[in-house]
Chain A
Amino acid sequence: AQSVTQLDSHVSVSEGTPVLLRCNYSSSYSPSLFWYVQHPNKGLQLLLKYTSAATLVKGINGFEAEFKKSETSFHLTKPSAHMSDAAEYFCVVSGAGSARQLTFGSGTQLTVLP
Chain B
Amino acid sequence: NAGVTQTPKFRVLKTGQSMTLLCAQDMNHEYMYWYRQDPGMGLRLIHYSVGEGTTAKGEVPDGYNVSRLKKQNFLLGLESAAPSQTSVYFCASRPPGTSAYEQYFGPGTRLTVT
Which A residues fall within an 8 A CB radius of B? 6, 9, 32, 34, 42-44, 46, 49, 51, 90, 92, 94-95, 98-107
Contact = CB atoms under 8 A, between A and B. Distances in A.
Interface of B: 31, 33, 35, 40-45, 48, 50, 56, 58-59, 90, 94, 99-101, 103, 105-108
- Name which of B42, B59, B103, B107 has the most chain A CB atoms within 10 A of its CB: B42
A51 B41 CA distance: 24
12 contacts: A9-B40, A32-B100, A44-B105, A90-B42, A101-B33, A101-B45, A102-B33, A102-B45, A102-B100, A104-B35, A104-B43, A107-B42
A50 to B, nearest CB: 10
A43 B42 CA distance: 13
A94 B101 CA distance: 8
Contact of B58 (A9, A32, A101): A101
B40 A101 contact: no
Contacts of A9: 40
Contacts of A90: 42-43
Nearest to B43: A104
A94 B100 contact: yes
A32 B90 contact: no
B1 to A, nearest CB: 15
